[in-house]
Structure 1
Amino acid sequence: MGGPRRSAFFILQALCVFLTLLDSQNTVDAVTKDCVKRCPQHSKCINDTACRCDPGFKSSTEIITDHTDSCEDINECGPPPIVSCGRFADCKNTEGGYYCTCNPGYVLGSGENTFRNESENSCQDVDECSSGEHQCDNSTSCVNTLGSYKCYCPRGWVPKPGFQNSQKTTQCEKIFSRWTMPPGIKSQSLSGFFERVQILGRDIKSASAQDIIGKLIESVDGLLEVPGDLEALTLRDQLRTATNLLSGLEHVLRTLAKTMLTAPFTYHSSADTELTLMIQEQGNENVTMGQTHARMMLKWSEAAGERDSGPVMAGMLSSQNMKKLLAKASLKLDLEKKSELEKLHESTVSGTQFRFLSAINSAFLSNTKTEKLDSPVTFAFSHLPATPGPRQELICAFWKGDNDSGGYWTTTGCQKLGSLNGSTTCQCSHLSSFAILMAHYDIEDLKLALITKVGLALSLVCLLLCILTFLLVRPIQGSRTTVHLHLCICLFVGSAIFLAGIENQGGQVGTRCRLVAGLLHYCFLAAFCWMSLEGAELYILVVRVFPGQGLSKPWLYLIGYGVPGLIVVISAAVNSQGYGRVLYCWLNPDHGFLWSFLGPVTFIILCNAVIFVITVWKLTQKFSEINPDMKKLKKARVLTITAVSQLFLLGCTWIFGLFLFDPKSQVLAYAFTILTCLQGFFLFVLHCLLNKKVREEYRKWAGMVTRSKYSEFTTSTVGSSHNQTRVLRPSESGM
């Protein structure tokens, strides 16, 4: 009995304990669920009234009793960092935790991607260049760096425009790749030069920058010393070529200078071309660099470009030979300068001329944006000593390239500070190629212009009267009259062309200007040829022993018009560019072309002078004879005096005229103008008014005109009276 009962008791007791425990657990679960509802996110209950944040989170207090509190993530990576990942690694925070990774360009030696602490750090550099993970352009060379890589331009290459060296995006090109012939220019000399330049580009890998610079300057000197077919180019193409050479040299020298380790560097060629380079660290101090031809002082901060880091450079290239391509360029005055000159001279500035006093000096920096500098640059240029004459001025000018004209000299942005003993100081707000010029301003003289127009108009009227006289007056017809007639025709046509087209208004030598110059050349040569024929006629009349009638008309025409035509054709064939100048449509004095006019004229004047001396001597002998033929001798004397006077007038006129096209004094200009205007009047007086037969013929014409008018008046009067009588008679009869 006891055993079963005891068992039942234990079972009952165990059941009671289970029920008690079950009730207790339900009570605890109810309390816990109620606690959790009161705890913020990322926390756990401690008891029914308190909570604690999970690991990796924190609150304002360690034990949370206020249900408004919150648990925020702890940033183990800082700042300040709570954990250390070690070298070449970076901490990455996560919600409630963190992990470590190697920096870009590094990987874990274990092959894992992440780790937890410094003791697990095995980060090591990745060689992107050898593993092929770089993105360098094909034109560059990859160079590995700790944790990264850089793309460098190889030797002889430079970054393309818009790119920088040693960048992952760098793109390169050859140093000479952008320096090519100007488009549209055909020149074997220039083509050969650029072929030599490309060969230099291939030698850069084996030669030093100094050697390349020396060979380059020698190549430029060789091109300019013997320009060959460059001289046959049009003026525009010559100026475009000069602009190309200047800009190309500046670009290449700047690039080569950046590869040099030694500085300063100076090179002086056998052709007196001189280069000076200065390379040093960036700074704000004033720096002076110089050479034989020029010195430059600038604030060194101007030498650095926006993206330049490390040393920067400044350079100056002086060339004497470059003047050959730039001498024919125009000089353009800015509006302020032109207004100042017109106010000073109280007249219009019609144009400018210049001549070089110094070498062409090109200044350049690492900074390529030098059109407007923050601080002006001061130059001291050495040049030939010169004293300005009337309407002349010594100026600081710079070269400005232009697509339309090829380029021109101007002074905008530059001012002359002073000049003494062959040295001129200038200050400019930009950099370019500079030169010291002696400028001559063509100030329009209104009085001279009025004298020219009125005087030439009078001369044309007188020459026309001479032509009509020689054609219509029969008593004076003969070989000498033929000579005088065609002399006046040549002078009339030449003077008319001179009056209408001597000035070149466009500033460029075009077809019209060349045609005018050619016609003037022909007409004035023809005038002197006909004048030489008068000397021949005198020689035949006075000097020859046997009687003669002079040259026949075919010979007169052949010599008078054929010889000047032959001279002009040969001159044009040899140098067609010699016709026309920038300001005047006349012969260009360059290369001695003016002697195509001076030579024949000088020869004719000398020959006629000799003939006239011989003639006067012969006349003197004949006048001293016992029974001279006084009638013929007086006629010969009159003809000789007339011819000598005519030669003197035309000869003196063109002696002054030669200086007119390169004016240095107003006296010469006025002398030429007055003598030119007197030509027609003088010939009219000499050959018409002083000729007895012509005067008699004029009197006959005057009498005929007077009688004709009187006859018309008498006829009209008689006729009027007769008509009145006829009108009155019927009325009378009617009365």
Structure 2
Amino acid sequence: MRGSSLLPGLCFLLSLSGVVAQKTKGTCTHCPQNAFCVNATHCTCNHGYRSESKEKYFSYRFERCEDVDECKPPISVYCGVNAECQNIIGSFYCHCIDGYKLLSGKAQFNNSNENTCQKITPSKTTNSTKEMQQVVEDIESHLTGKTVLGVERNFTSTVTAFLQKVESDVLKTALKAPDQKIQKVQYSTVAVETQVVTDNCSKRVILSLNAQVNSMKIHCSDVIQRNIKGTSAVAFVSYSSLGNIINASFFEEMNEKDQVYLNSQVVSAAIEPKKNTSLSQPVILNFQHMKVKPGVKKIFCVYWKDTKEGGRWSKDGCALRQANKTHTICSSTHLSSFAVLMALHGQEEDPALTVITYVGLSLSLLCLLLAALTFLLCKAIQNTSTSLHLQLSLCLFLAHLLFLTAIDRTENKVLCAIIAGALHYLYLASFTWMLLEGLHLFLTARNLTVVNYSSINRLMKWLMFPVGYGVPAVIVAISAASRPHLYGTPDRCWLHLDQKFIWAFLGPVCAIICVNFVFFVMVFWILKRKLSSLNSEVSTIRNVKMLTLKATAQLFILGCTWFLGLLQVGPAARVMAYLFTIINSLQGVFIFLVYCLLSQQVQKWFGEIIKSKSESEAYTLSSRFGADSKPSEAK
């Protein structure tokens, strides 16, 4: 386990248990279609194709070469202003968008250097085009002249006002020429695309806008805002240098341990008229990274938030959809100015924590398996309490097994999301069975007997399975239905921290721990009163003491140790990380120790098994000795 992954507390990782197919290697004469031989030993895909395994050179005879879509991330060929990329099998080409054509008259070209796309416009739209160009030129002059920075002590207010004015000017200019549906203008530091909607979204459901190396998709219904009649417009603006002014230092969650930096251009999205600012569907933003750096720990999709102090980068309403080395896709529930922040690893992984986790969980798996077999086979202890122990052991066993067999395998995003959901369910089920354990212990203490309490048995049998497995299923189903894209992160198959989605796990866990603590206090109060009223009833005193031991053990095993995960802050963070890892990875060992090895009935059962085995071995030896002794006596 990674040491850094423990810091949020209670956040176990798990990824899909990968089934690695055994690949039969072949010779270079068996290169697949769209591939050629290299050095008579390996194959490589033709230009415009890549292998299914993503390996450049391969010898697996059943490998396939797939077409690379150069027009989509991570490549996203840029064809220049007023042009689009079109993918074809094995290659691509650029062409002018509707309403534009090449000066040469050709239908296509190869790259942005060959772009000569010119607008095919009637004379009446020339003035509106010039007006939009003039607006963008004014924006460019402000940016290149650095007048945005101003002389104020708090220049973020000036930046906020500047961004709002740019959006307003661009949209108003676009609405002056409603017959010119799309306008694109690009300069060295700023690029703008506007689209005007006059047909009540009868032709397009999704509007796509591009500016420099970034793009945006927004539902047309959000642009016209349904109840607005008339002409509406949407604008997408990209600033190539504004990030140098409002950099990552203005991030409201800046962590000194992490090296946070802005790794995209700043973009703005706005609509006009602004009657309703809420969106029915999130707007999708595609950013191209400015730098590719290894060791990225976190990726933040942020927007520029207008505050009393002037402005800050904030994550509210923004979510990370997808990310790779060159691009990040974000979504937002509102329109504003956006960017992508990244944080490098603040600390090295602790190999000692990894060793402790693997050793501890391996021991726990063994002990949980032995405990489950004991609960199933030892008839002397089979009752409602044993059934609860068995279900808890099974849930923890499956969760720990998944954790150990495949960690941090996030290659397949769909399967990673499924595994994150499965892990979410298994750990929530484990905590729910812990809650039922606490409830059962409280009811047992109230009745002051350990076994044969029929009313408790009937209640627990009625509650057990619907609550133990049903409640976690409902929580996971609601979480998955509301935010399915937040299952699975770029580096682990677990819940995203974005939009506080992690509380879909932490919320129920904290509630269960608190309730179990209340049960513990009530059990101790009941047992203290019972002990003070007893005289010399030895069996009852023994039962009460055993119940006290179980109450203490359950409080320790079934909850309180998890609070160590929340204490991993400040100077004691490292110590708490070690304590959290050691104690929780050995949870299965504690369960086997308390519920099996310390049980007199289980000890007696183990003794009978050992005794019968030793008697069987003795009988076998004596039979062999008797058979072998006859010949010697004959001599």
Structure 2 counterpart of 1:538: 441
How far apart, in 1, do the equivalents of 2:587 and 2:625 lie?
46
- CA gap 1:682/1:552 in 2 versus in 1, 3 angstroms: closer
- 1:321 CA drift (Å): 7.3
Whether 1:458 aligns to 2:363 is yes
- 1:499 CA drift (Å): 1.1
8 A contact 1:357–1:437 mirrored in 2: no
* Structure 1 residues 147-166: aligned runs within 5 Å: 160=102
Per-residue displacement from partner, 1:247-275 (whole Å, max 9, x unpaired)? 3689xxxxxxxxxxxxxxxxxxxxxx998
- 1:564 CA drift (Å): 1.6
Per-residue displacement from partner, 1:619-654 (whole Å, max 9, x unpaired)? 222223265866335424423432443333342454
Structure 2 counterpart of 1:486: 391
Structure 2 counterpart of 1:515: 418
Query: What's the C-alpha RMSD, in Å, of the aligned pairs?
Result: 5.4
Structure 2 counterpart of 1:603: 511
- CA gap 1:275/1:333 in 2 versus in 1, 3 angstroms: closer
- Of 539, 555, 567, the residue aligned with 1:647 is 555
- CA gap 1:599/1:291 in 2 versus in 1, 3 angstroms: closer
Amino acid at match of 1:596: A
Q: Size of the alignment, in residue pairs?
A: 401
- CA gap 1:540/1:162 in 2 versus in 1, 3 angstroms: farther
Per-residue displacement from partner, 1:109-167 (whole Å, max 9, x unpaired)? xxxxxxxxxxxxxxxxxxxxxxxxxxxxxxxxxxxxxxxxxxxxxxx98884889xxxx
- 1:200 CA drift (Å): 7.2
- Of 441, 455, 459, the residue aligned with 1:548 is 455
Structure 1 counterpart of 2:401: 496
Amino acid at match of 2:397: F
Amino acid at match of 2:367: C
- CA gap 1:215/1:444 in 2 versus in 1, 3 angstroms: closer
Identity among equivalent positions (%) equals 31
- Of 167, 172, 185, the residue aligned with 2:118 is 172
How far apart, in 2, do the equivalents of 1:721 and 1:601 lie?
68
How far apart, in 1, do the equivalents of 2:213 and 2:290 lie?
20
8 A contact 1:159–1:171 mirrored in 2: yes
8 A contact 2:597–2:603 mirrored in 1: yes
Structure 2 counterpart of 1:449: 354
- 1:700 CA drift (Å): 1.9
Amino acid at match of 2:353: L
How far apart, in 1, do the equivalents of 2:213 and 2:173 lie?
14
How far apart, in 2, do the equivalents of 1:718 and 1:290 lie?
93
- 1:487 CA drift (Å): 0.8
Amino acid at match of 2:440: E
- 1:598 CA drift (Å): 1.8
SS class of match (2:343): strand
8 A contact 1:619–1:633 mirrored in 2: no
SS class of match (1:503): coil
Structure 2 counterpart of 1:624: 532
How far apart, in 2, do the equivalents of 1:436 and 1:603 lie?
33
Amino acid at match of 1:548: S
Structure 2 counterpart of 1:685: 593
8 A contact 1:522–1:565 mirrored in 2: yes
How far apart, in 2, do the equivalents of 1:519 and 1:616 lie?
36
How far apart, in 1, do the equivalents of 2:180 and 2:386 lie?
78
Structure 1 counterpart of 2:486: 578
Per-residue displacement from partner, 1:480-502 (whole Å, max 9, x unpaired)? 11111111111111110111233
SS class of match (1:438): strand
Amino acid at match of 1:352: K
- CA gap 1:670/1:716 in 2 versus in 1, 3 angstroms: same
Whether 1:353 aligns to 2:298 is yes
Whether 1:293 aligns to 2:235 is no
How far apart, in 1, do the equivalents of 2:303 and 2:507 lie?
32
Amino acid at match of 1:518: G
* Structure 1 residues 693-712: aligned runs within 5 Å: 693-712=601-620
Structure 1 counterpart of 2:222: none
- CA gap 1:354/1:435 in 2 versus in 1, 3 angstroms: closer
8 A contact 1:358–1:436 mirrored in 2: no
Structure 1 counterpart of 2:627: 719
* Structure 1 residues 226-625: aligned runs within 5 Å: 244-247=210-213, 293=246, 318-319=266-267, 352-355=297-300, 407-408=327-328, 437-440=342-345, 443-506=348-411, 510-543=413-446, 548-550=455-457, 551-625=459-533
Structure 2 counterpart of 1:125: none
Amino acid at match of 1:293: I
How far apart, in 1, do the equivalents of 2:343 and 2:552 lie?
41
8 A contact 1:653–1:675 mirrored in 2: yes
SS class of match (1:172): strand
8 A contact 1:531–1:647 mirrored in 2: no
Q: Which has the larger radius of gyration?
A: 1
8 A contact 1:501–1:516 mirrored in 2: no
How far apart, in 2, do the equivalents of 1:619 and 1:652 lie?
21
8 A contact 1:469–1:688 mirrored in 2: yes
Amino acid at match of 1:623: L
8 A contact 1:487–1:530 mirrored in 2: yes
8 A contact 2:438–2:554 mirrored in 1: no
How far apart, in 2, do the equivalents of 1:659 and 1:406 lie?
36
* Structure 1 residues 13-28: aligned runs within 5 Å: none
How far apart, in 1, do the equivalents of 2:477 and 2:596 lie?
35
* Structure 1 residues 99-118: aligned runs within 5 Å: none
Structure 2 counterpart of 1:429: none
- CA gap 1:460/1:658 in 2 versus in 1, 3 angstroms: farther
SS class of match (1:624): helix
